[in-house]
Structure 1
Amino acid sequence: MANPPFNVDKVKAESCESAKRLPFGMPSINKNKEVGNGNYLWISYFYSYLNEKGRAGFVMASSATDGQGKDKDIRRKLVETGHVDVMISVGNNYFYTKSLPCSLWFFDKNKNEAIKDKVLFIDARNYYTVVDRTLNEWSEWQLKNLNAIVWLYRGETEKYTALLDEYRTILGKGDFEDILHQLKDELKDLQKRAKIEVEHAGRGDKKRIQGEYDEMIASKNEEVTVAKEANWLYEKFGDGGYKNILGLCKTAYTTDVAKDNDKDENENKISIEEKGWSLTPGAYVGVAPVEDDGVDFEERMAEIHLELLSLQAESNDLMDTISKNMKEMGL
């Protein structure tokens, strides 16, 4: 596993060639006999380190999945080996100092027979948890769900089943969607009770009661989060078995020949060759339909308006109290 620096430039071509770690040839060289962009040096190096059963996973600039010229030639040779396993697109704001998107590349020289001529593409750019305005991440459960897609693609259904069992251990038995709705209702009820009790509590008890409810609300929020991820996974893949999901994941064949030799007539087949040897997941998975979030716009705007009026009234009361206290202090 590695996270190399992206787009390294001015790499001396002679030193690259002498290292003998370029099984697919040299990237483009400029008039100064330098490699202008080192992304495909890293990609070639990682591949060259693998033994006959080796695996590699690394982060790379998004632009590398679709580079042209010599990069495209190297990528074609790489795909034709059959050792490209999984490609994942990652959205913005996953780095502390940069906002640029990236891709995750996975090689496997020991792929099983069922997927030896295939590559799994996952577009995870719209699947993330917001940490703050400038940082996103995958939560623990989102990482498990992404792993689950790969397990199903590889035929490792027992791992997928174990994850469903883990969800059920935490959430209890029942339909994940029903559990999610129930937990959301419980969360709303808890938030309403907290507001009422804090408003009616004496000045000395407000902070304690708010703290107690904050803990309960945080715990319930965690349950809701787990239920959301369980439902997200189950509604797509059910009890197990890989399938292509529009806007999320799709398998593609390494060449047109591999596609034509597959006997599955029910699959919407596509090859990397016919896509110009691109390894960009978005070129394969398509765009998911926009889902209705079930929120009534006019009703929600009315609720927000009432909330603003309430906050404004509280602010006015607070200012009156502060002004009164300052007068009593002679200020």
Structure 2
Amino acid sequence: MANESNGSDLQFEAELFKAADKLRGNLEPSEYKHVALGLIFLKYISEAFEAQRVKLEQEEYADPEDPEEYLAARVFWVPEIARWSYLKDNARARDLKITDPVTGKEKKVDIGGLIDVAMEAIEKANATTLKGVLPKDYGRPALDKEMIGDLVELFSDVTMHTEGEKSRDLLGRAYEYFLSGFAGAEGRRGGEFFTPRSVVRVMVEMLEPYQGRVYDPCCGSGGMFVQSEKFIEDHSDQRDIEAAKRRISIYGQERNHTTWKLCKMNLAVRGIDADIRWNNEGSFIRDEFSNTYFDFILANPPFNVSDWWRESLAEDVRWEAFGTPPQGNANYAWLSHIYHHLAPRGTAGVVLANGSMSSQQSGEGEMRRQMVEKDAVDCMVALPGQLFYSTQIPACLWFLAKDKSANGHRDRRGEFLFIDARKLGTMVDRTRRELDPKDIEVIATTYHSWRNKDGGYQDVPGFCKSARKEDVAKHGYVLTPGRYVGAEDAEDDGVKFEERLVQLRETLSRQFSDARSLEIQIAKNLLRVVE
């Protein structure tokens, strides 16, 4: 892709996706997704391998042919037959004679068959991390080999104006953008594996996962984890990024095997070490981390699932805190599962349908009362509509805390923050809205100013309200922010809510920037102390 926007902004990813999408012909997005993403993965790890190889060749005592040298640098070993340069040279192959690195036998392949062999070779060389993860059906007769060759050549041009780490970053961005693009193309089915980045970013910025265990019980393609590491990159001294990343450990579970593979590839593209487990029963029936507790939990579980219950769950320990969830809707089962898995000072962010904030059906109202009385809820955020690919059901964010008196913040016991963000966001196309960086800042910084000691928090009519337990009780333990934030206050100076919100954004943005500078300075001072 030889164009001026290559790598400079999101236009690069959009143009690359548009070009790739033209090549799929009549292939369904759900099927084409794995074709395109598998090739981007191959390109990415080959780029990483070649960059590390150059470094090793320049070191006096390093061996560029030793796979352990690559493993030590968190880089996958890529066998010669799987390297992108070889695939590119044979993008139009029809009867290429090769020696299969797995069987040792000679055979003839086209470009699709060659990619399958490459995937097999990479899995064999990196079995601990990638066994059973990569797609290996490029050689099937139904797949157009001209299209595959076109894709190989298209992705080969990604690095035309970039080198080294920069090109690898572009490929990582492209992978994430393609996940988003395919989620949009698949609609409801796509939403099962992808949570919009702006929604994830709100949750991550609010929870601030600097160090500890991060968990997602229904992790989809791993977006929560990618954004957690991105948060660390954005809030760390550049000299300390790798060390900072090692301060978090990532755990996840996914029920859909195909989505689990997408997650494993997505994290591998980003160089993220994680313990991601799959079983076809899911986190309720077969909890892979039943005896593990986490500092941060981020989740976007499927909304209003009705067929989750099994009789084996009747006396489950996860229901001890708030009671047994209704069998016909899993929303409160997810909240209970997540709260149960929080460490003593852990916090969680959960995306749920708006109905979860007010429903009285099947004992949900009583469970919500228990959550309020036991101070399990920290903050509620009402989101704008049209954010999600999978549903038009209005959604909200629940923020849970195991101990509201701990974690270095002020004592918030008996207090709850309500944020009504329904007026935020910008339409990015005819059907979907996104929260822009300033929207995310204003939500996150409002929460931090309320949670932190001497944070300078103030209620903003129509947007945010700090309420006490007795206030929530008066509202029947309904947690819908609109009930608490009140109407827009324009009586004193005639300033409209939208204008006041702009001013609030600017003020909070400055505070956010000052806080970030202070974090970096503290990190530098700590480094000096250690040295």
SS at match of 2:462: coil
Q: Distance in 2 between matches of 1:40 and 1:7?
A: 9
- Decide which of 6, 9, 14 is 2:311's aligned counterpart: 14
Q: Compared with structure 1, are the counterparts of its residues 13 and 140 closer, same or farther at alpha carbon in structure 2 (3 Å cutoff)?
A: same
Q: Supply the AA of the counterpart residue of 1:53.
A: R
2:424 matched residue in structure 1: 127
Q: Check conservation: 1:57, 1:105, Cα contact below 8 A.
A: yes
Q: Supply the AA of the counterpart residue of 2:486.
A: G
CA RMSD for the aligned pairs?
2.0
Give the deviation of 1:152 after TM superposition. Answer: 0.9
Post-superposition CA distance 1:93-129 (Å, at most 9, x none): 1012322210100011232353211010000000112
Q: Check conservation: 1:121, 1:252, Cα contact below 8 A.
A: yes
Q: Supply the AA of the counterpart residue of 2:467.
A: A
1:76 matched residue in structure 2: 369
SS at match of 2:336: helix
Q: Distance in 2 between matches of 1:293 and 1:245?
A: 12
1:108 and 2:401 aligned: yes
Matches within 5 A, 1:266-305: 271-289=471-489, 291=496
Give the deviation of 1:17 after TM superposition. Answer: 2.1
1:43 and 2:340 aligned: no
SS at match of 2:445: helix
Give the deviation of 1:18 after TM superposition. Answer: 4.3
2:356 matched residue in structure 1: 64
Q: Check conservation: 2:305, 2:330, Cα contact below 8 A.
A: yes
1:241 matched residue in structure 2: 456
Give the deviation of 1:58 after TM superposition. Answer: 0.9
2:385 matched residue in structure 1: 92
Q: Distance in 2 between matches of 1:151 and 1:292?
A: 22
SS at match of 2:344: coil
SS at match of 1:51: strand
Q: Distance in 2 between matches of 1:289 and 1:126?
A: 15
Matches within 5 A, 1:217-236: none
1:251 and 2:466 aligned: yes
Q: Check conservation: 2:416, 2:466, Cα contact below 8 A.
A: yes
Q: Check conservation: 1:122, 1:248, Cα contact below 8 A.
A: yes
Q: Supply the AA of the counterpart residue of 1:277.
A: Y
Q: Check conservation: 2:489, 2:497, Cα contact below 8 A.
A: no
Q: Distance in 2 between matches of 1:127 and 1:111?
A: 28
Identical residues among aligned pairs (%): 37
Q: Check conservation: 2:319, 2:325, Cα contact below 8 A.
A: no
Q: Compared with structure 1, are the counterparts of its residues 44 and 293 closer, same or farther at alpha carbon in structure 2 (3 Å cutoff)?
A: closer
What TM-score does the superposition give when structure 2 sets the normalisation length? 0.34
2:145 matched residue in structure 1: none
Q: Supply the AA of the counterpart residue of 1:125.
A: R
Q: Check conservation: 1:4, 1:60, Cα contact below 8 A.
A: yes
Q: Which runs of 4+ in 1 moved over 4 A?
A: none
Q: Distance in 2 between matches of 1:241 and 1:129?
A: 28
Q: Supply the AA of the counterpart residue of 1:54.
A: G
Give the deviation of 1:283 after TM superposition. Answer: 0.9
Q: Distance in 1 between matches of 2:347 and 2:373?
A: 17
Give the deviation of 1:13 after TM superposition. Answer: 4.6
Give the deviation of 1:38 after TM superposition. Answer: 1.1
Q: Distance in 2 between matches of 1:292 and 1:146?
A: 15
Q: Supply the AA of the counterpart residue of 2:307.
A: K
1:27 matched residue in structure 2: 325
Q: Check conservation: 2:384, 2:394, Cα contact below 8 A.
A: yes
Post-superposition CA distance 1:157-190 (Å, at most 9, x none): 6xxxxxxxxxxxxxxxxxxxxxxxxxxxxxxxxx
Q: Check conservation: 2:488, 2:497, Cα contact below 8 A.
A: no
Q: Supply the AA of the counterpart residue of 1:276.
A: G
Post-superposition CA distance 1:237-277 (Å, at most 9, x none): xxx611111110001112x3xxxxxxxxxxxxxx1111100
Q: Check conservation: 1:85, 1:120, Cα contact below 8 A.
A: yes
Give the deviation of 1:156 after TM superposition. Answer: 5.0
1:4 and 2:301 aligned: yes
Q: Distance in 2 between matches of 1:13 and 1:64?
A: 21
Q: Compared with structure 1, are the counterparts of its residues 97 and 273 closer, same or farther at alpha carbon in structure 2 (3 Å cutoff)?
A: same
SS at match of 1:44: helix
1:151 matched residue in structure 2: 448
Q: Distance in 2 between matches of 1:39 and 1:118?
A: 23
Q: Check conservation: 2:385, 2:433, Cα contact below 8 A.
A: yes
Give the deviation of 1:292 after TM superposition. Answer: 8.8
SS at match of 2:357: helix
- Decide which of 327, 336, 347 is 1:55's aligned counterpart: 347
Q: Check conservation: 1:120, 1:250, Cα contact below 8 A.
A: yes
Post-superposition CA distance 1:27-59 (Å, at most 9, x none): 33xxxxxx1111111111111111211111110
SS at match of 1:273: helix
Q: Check conservation: 2:339, 2:402, Cα contact below 8 A.
A: no
Q: Distance in 1 between matches of 2:369 and 2:424?
A: 29
Q: Supply the AA of the counterpart residue of 2:413.
A: K
Give the deviation of 1:11 after TM superposition. Answer: 2.8
Q: Compared with structure 1, are the counterparts of its residues 283 and 293 closer, same or farther at alpha carbon in structure 2 (3 Å cutoff)?
A: closer
Q: Check conservation: 1:99, 1:134, Cα contact below 8 A.
A: no
